[in-house]
Amino acid sequence: MKGRWLYLANARVPSEKAHVFQIFQMLDGFTDAGLDVELVHPRRDNLSHLENVDPQALYGLRHAPRMRSVRTLDAIKLVTIDIPPLNRPPIPALAFGAQSVSFAVNAALCARGANAKVLYSRDWPVLAAASISGKPAIWEAHDLPQSRAARTAIRALLPRLAGIVCITRGLRDELQSLGVAGHRLLVAPDAVDLARFTDMPSREDARRQLGLPSGARMVAYTGHLYSWKGAHALARASRLLPDGVEVCIVGGTPADLVSFRRFVAEERLDRVRVIGHVPPKDVPTWLAAADVLALPNSGRESISARYTSPLKLYEYMASGRPIVASDLPSLREALTHGENAWFVAPDNPAALAAGISAILDDPARAGAMAERARKSVQGHTWTVRAERIVAFVSRVLEAEPAT
């Protein structure tokens, strides 16, 4: 299904958040696949260090992305001010709701007037509004809401979608249980830009570049600090690691970093380095500096246990470093215990520390697992993913032509 697509994204652009990085990688992949794709996003104030930043340079894109901003009620900026009661519940949720509704309405108007063959989005509420335009709508599903009201809204939307791209089999299976026919579903896990990992520095060179001690053994985590990501469990596991082992936590939004650094200080986790957000181009160097990479997702929330396809997972696999990961259905879709990763019980700092220690103590096994992970991620590129999605959309639209 070549031609013009609109990618509708209710996101601050550019952003330090992983989902925005993923959106821009897909824009690059769709362009490689022959699409004329345009990103429609809200006009919002950005963080000071991201104002006037070129997304192509920030995200290492091969193509300059086409973008169009639409007006939105940027109520979210009001609750970022540390002034009660503006930053106290339920005000933030109401502010986000107002912003989301205003963007959905304006994105729908944009879609209605645009000469586009397909509407594509990760945001199902946006598609609920935009699909009224009559243009085929494709939802890239990364999560399913759990509340009764949201599930009711999802059920009403599903028949109006031309197709759904699911990032895991867990999402596909649950959508089928909600009545979506199998031919309208595609499982397409997230991917990686392998070119970013072709000239990785040695461990020693990476540590010199980053100012890290050469003698210590290091466990690295790159990603956000949401509770279901498991960074808190990894930080607690640092107490149980052998002497001379440090933990580096790379990533996080400004607000999450404040609370996470407070947690580390209050827990007296002296062997945890909280690095904060780094540009995407620097992530491979942090991975290269590590002896072990941790993927400590929690099993307590569906988004983590069944739905997620972590960007860091594929970057970890491409980096050539051994992975210790939570034993969860979502991660078992890409990893196999003892083959390309070492699994541990989720939400268990002691089990996580034991798994990390086992890999540190067995360099031969660690190296073999890392090499198998690197081989198994070959082909999981954004361009290949985009080509699969384009072929899927062509199939579903030929089977069910738009009315």
**Is residue 122 pLDDT above 80, yes or no?**
yes
- Output the pTM of the full model: 0.94
**Is residue 81 pLDDT above 80, yes or no?**
no
The band of 403, judged by pLDDT with boundaries at 50, 70 and 90, is very low
The band of 1, judged by pLDDT with boundaries at 50, 70 and 90, is low
- How far apart are alpha carbons 328 and 348 in whole angstroms? 13
Contacts of 35 (CB under 8 A, 6+ apart): 2, 3, 4, 5, 386, 390
Query: For 83-104, how does the pLDDT look when each residue is reduced to its tens digit (9 = 90+)?
Result: 555 556 666 777 788 888 999 9
Find the mean pLDDT for residues 367-388: 97
Domain 3-191+381-399, CATH = 3.40.50.2000
- Please, what CATH class does the domain formed by 195-376 belong to? alpha beta
Is 195-376 in the same CATH topology as 3-191+381-399? yes
Q: Which residues of 345-370 are buried (b: 16+ CB within 10 A; e: fewer)?
A: ebbbbebbbbbbbebbeeeeebeebb
Find the mean pLDDT for residues 278-284: 96
Q: Report domain extents, the chain.
A: 3-191+381-399, 195-376
**Is residue 220 pLDDT above 80, yes or no?**
yes
Q: How many CB atoms lie within 10 A of CB 265?
A: 12
Q: Residue 133: what pLDDT? A: 86
**Is residue 345 pLDDT above 60, yes or no?**
yes
